A and B are shown apart, each in its own frame.
Chain A
Amino acid sequence: MTHAFVVPRVPSVDAVAVEERAAKFRTRSIKKDAKIKGLKLVASMIDLTTLEGMDTPGKVQMLCQKAISPGSGCPQVAAICVYPTLVPVAKAALKGTSIKVASVATYFPSGQASLKERTDEVRRAVEAGADEIDMVISRGDFLAGHYAKIDEEIRATREACGPAHLKVILETGELQTYDNVRLASQIAIDAGAHFIKTSTGKVSPGATMPVTLVMLEAIRDHFINTGKMVGMKPAGGIRDSKLAMHYLAMVKETLGDAWLSPDWFRFGASSLLNDVLMQLEKQSTGRYHSDRYLSLS
């Protein structure tokens, strides 16, 4: 290991200010044409996700069909996110489209395995065709203060990714404090993450607006200091499109328009797309819609 790790100096986070700032976005009212555009943008940023023990090839195929043609004038989603074993299924179903296949790896969701096992899993997922890898950091090591280990595992995973993009899941619901989130964000960014991501979706709370704001500010400060853009992916618990639109307002006002693109911002979600479809139907028909008319996820 030639790289000498130094714990990055990060500013401390004012929890009260962050929570108040984040709460302000929840009051935004986005209507009519702006709403329709916003809904479509949200849809185009979704990593349509299924990460259940009971996932079947059939379910993944169904999800891929939905990703390709969601209906109701809704654009295609950004990616399908599945476990490594289902990557070939998704890859085949999405052949000929621009929709990416993302795979969680590194012993998702706990990350409790040796670094070699974890990077081997990443290599297998990439060989199977994954365009993007969502890794988890070792929260236990982070909380024990072994920051160098976190740095090392992210660098090793990035290397194992080869051409695939790397998203680093901090699992903020287990990091206890905003200061920890800020530090973990910086470590991930410095170690070469293409995206930083809040949560696995397996721990509550998942993504929250204050936590996402802290991560967006880390991205912003990194951009100001180095000129390099890093992407952001909140995941876990973002189920309705109104909340998703408030996230977009937060992104726009923290990072600017450049990040309002699926290249730089994603939602990790399974039921959000259905809500977007219901809202688009409401906008076009004037009827409040029902998810009974939509597929399960």
Chain B
Amino acid sequence: MAKSTPTRLRVLKTFKLYIGGAFPRTESGRFLQEHNPKGQLVANFCRASRKDLRNSVVAARKAQPGWAGRTPFNRAQILYRMAEVLESRRESFESALAERAGIKSADAQAEVDAAIDRLVWYAGWADKFVQIMGTTNPVASPHFNITSPEPTGVVTAFAPRSAPLLGLITAIAPVIVSGNALVLVVENEHPSIAIDLAEVFHCSDLPGGVVNILTGLREELVPHAAKHMDIDAIATFDATDEERRLIALEAAESVKRVHNFESPAKHDWAQASAQSPYNILPFVEFKTAWHPIESGAAMGAKY
């Protein structure tokens, strides 16, 4: 392949946001810069504002019922499709992790491997977690009594500060697999990877608005997310004490579910311990139905 001429200036991509299946700039017009470990500028990216958060929540709210209404099997297919598309672009992610984040080539490959595998792993849970986590309850009345988990609605997650690709998959997959819509806020050293990932989602049959990705400053967005009345749950990774306090206080007003995750140590990200069907649980609500049945006692049964 011909090398570019020495005088050519490289075109530096501005990474935009991912809201409602589109890639808008932040409405605020603000941007931040991403550098590699050598201190070189590698990307400009958007600094999302509270209005971008609001727009994302509107998009998520709109998309959520349709996503939850898909069959679990179909959600599994789409998560698997996300893995397929990520696999097809693995070289691009490997080089992005190496060039932008300064991750060693072997480690970058391992992170992409783990990210793809984790998507496939959670895809498998889509049509299984309800069976395993739902229950049939013994009751002292002529009712068939069942409890099953349903998606809680719109979830806002504050992404891990480490593992620029795998951390995102770890945050996203257990939230959306049950039928929630997600607004993911990314503040880490290399948020451009998150928008690369959004491009993968965008061509993976994932309906627009199911995953929305905002890059920016947590400090700025945490209070507005915590106060927002149309967000049903908040997940954080690596939250500071102040973030935990603020979220706990403000989330009470709309009775949001709040779950704080801790990132694993660097080399544990790819381990099985970093994924669990129990990570689906903080973002579901358990619904119980009492279905009347013919009286057992009248039929001579002992109950």
Residues of chain A whose beta carbon lies under 8 Å from any beta carbon of chain B: 286-293
B54 touches A287 (CB 8 A): no
B54 touches A288 (CB 8 A): yes
Q: How far is the CB of B93 from chain A (nearest CB, A)?
A: 34
A287 CA to B254 CA in the complex, in Å?
Answer: 10
- Residues of chain B contacted by A291 (CB below 8 angstroms): 230
- Residues of chain A contacted by B230 (CB below 8 angstroms): 288-292
Can you identify 18 A-B contacts, CB atoms within 8 angstroms? A286-B227, A287-B227, A287-B228, A287-B229, A287-B253, A287-B254, A288-B54, A288-B57, A288-B227, A288-B228, A288-B229, A288-B230, A289-B230, A290-B229, A290-B254, A291-B230, A292-B230, A293-B229
Instruction: Indicate whether B224 reaches chain A with its CB closer than 8 angstroms.
Output: yes
Among B38-65, those with CB < 8 Å from A are 54, 57
- Residues of chain A contacted by B57 (CB below 8 angstroms): 288
A288 touches B254 (CB 8 A): no
Among B177-230, those with CB < 8 Å from A are 224, 227-230
- Residues of chain B contacted by A293 (CB below 8 angstroms): 229
A288 CA to B51 CA in the complex, in Å?
Answer: 10
- Residues of chain A contacted by B227 (CB below 8 angstroms): 286-288
Which of the four size classes fits the interface of chain B?
A: under 10
A233 CA to B190 CA in the complex, in Å?
Answer: 51
- Given contact pairs A290-B228, A290-B229, a sample of 10 additional A-B residue pairs in the complex whose CB atoms are under 8 Å apart: A287-B227, A287-B228, A287-B253, A288-B54, A288-B228, A289-B229, A290-B230, A292-B229, A292-B230, A293-B229
A32 CA to B224 CA in the complex, in Å?
Answer: 18
Question: Is chain A's binding surface mostly helix, strand, loop or mixed?
Answer: loop
Q: How far is the CB of A112 from chain B (nearest CB, A)?
A: 35
Q: How far is the CB of A93 from chain B (nearest CB, A)?
A: 29
- Residues of chain A contacted by B253 (CB below 8 angstroms): 287
Q: How far is the CB of A190 from chain B (nearest CB, A)?
A: 43
A292 CA to B254 CA in the complex, in Å?
Answer: 11
Chain B 224-260 per-residue mask, 1 if CB under 8 angstroms from chain A, else 0: 1001111000000000000000000000011000000
Q: How far is the CB of A292 from chain B (nearest CB, A)?
A: 7
Q: How far is the CB of B29 from chain A (nearest CB, A)?
A: 13
Instruction: Name the residue among B57, B228, B229, B253 with the largest chain A CB count within 10 angstroms.
Output: B229
Q: How far is the CB of B255 from chain A (nearest CB, A)?
A: 12
A136 CA to B254 CA in the complex, in Å?
Answer: 45
A286 CA to B226 CA in the complex, in Å?
Answer: 11
A286 CA to B253 CA in the complex, in Å?
Answer: 12
- Residues of chain B contacted by A292 (CB below 8 angstroms): 229-230
Name the residue on A nearest B224 (C-beta): A288
A48 CA to B282 CA in the complex, in Å?
Answer: 40
A22 CA to B228 CA in the complex, in Å?
Answer: 32
Q: How far is the CB of B155 from chain A (nearest CB, A)?
A: 14
In the A-B complex, the 8 residue pairs with the smallest Cβ-Cβ separation, listed nearest first, are A290-B230, A290-B229, A287-B227, A288-B228, A289-B229, A288-B54, A287-B229, A288-B229
Name the residue on B nearest A240 (C-beta): B58
Q: How far is the CB of A71 from chain B (nearest CB, A)?
A: 15
Name the residue on A nearest B61 (C-beta): A290
A291 CA to B153 CA in the complex, in Å?
Answer: 14
Q: How far is the CB of A63 from chain B (nearest CB, A)?
A: 23
A290 CA to B227 CA in the complex, in Å?
Answer: 11
A292 CA to B228 CA in the complex, in Å?
Answer: 12
A291 CA to B227 CA in the complex, in Å?
Answer: 15
Name the residue on A nearest B253 (C-beta): A287
Name the residue on B nearest A285 (C-beta): B227
Q: How far is the CB of B11 from chain A (nearest CB, A)?
A: 29
- Residues of chain B contacted by A287 (CB below 8 angstroms): 227-229, 253-254
Instruction: Name the residue among A289, A290, A293 with the largest chain B CB count within 10 angstroms.
Output: A290
Q: How far is the CB of B34 from chain A (nearest CB, A)?
A: 29
Name the residue on A nearest B230 (C-beta): A290
A239 CA to B232 CA in the complex, in Å?
Answer: 24
Name the residue on A nearest B227 (C-beta): A287
A289 CA to B54 CA in the complex, in Å?
Answer: 10
Q: How far is the CB of A30 from chain B (nearest CB, A)?
A: 14
Q: How far is the CB of B223 from chain A (nearest CB, A)?
A: 9
Instruction: Name the residue among A286, A287, A288, A289 with the largest chain B CB count within 10 angstroms.
Output: A288
Q: How far is the CB of A295 from chain B (nearest CB, A)?
A: 16
A290 CA to B64 CA in the complex, in Å?
Answer: 15
A78 CA to B228 CA in the complex, in Å?
Answer: 30
- Residues of chain B contacted by A288 (CB below 8 angstroms): 54, 57, 224, 227-230
A131 CA to B217 CA in the complex, in Å?
Answer: 54
- Residues of chain A contacted by B229 (CB below 8 angstroms): 287-290, 292-293
Q: How far is the CB of B49 from chain A (nearest CB, A)?
A: 13
Q: How far is the CB of A70 from chain B (nearest CB, A)?
A: 17
A292 CA to B253 CA in the complex, in Å?
Answer: 14
A131 CA to B52 CA in the complex, in Å?
Answer: 43
A290 CA to B229 CA in the complex, in Å?
Answer: 5
A292 CA to B61 CA in the complex, in Å?
Answer: 11
Name the residue on B nearest A292 (C-beta): B230
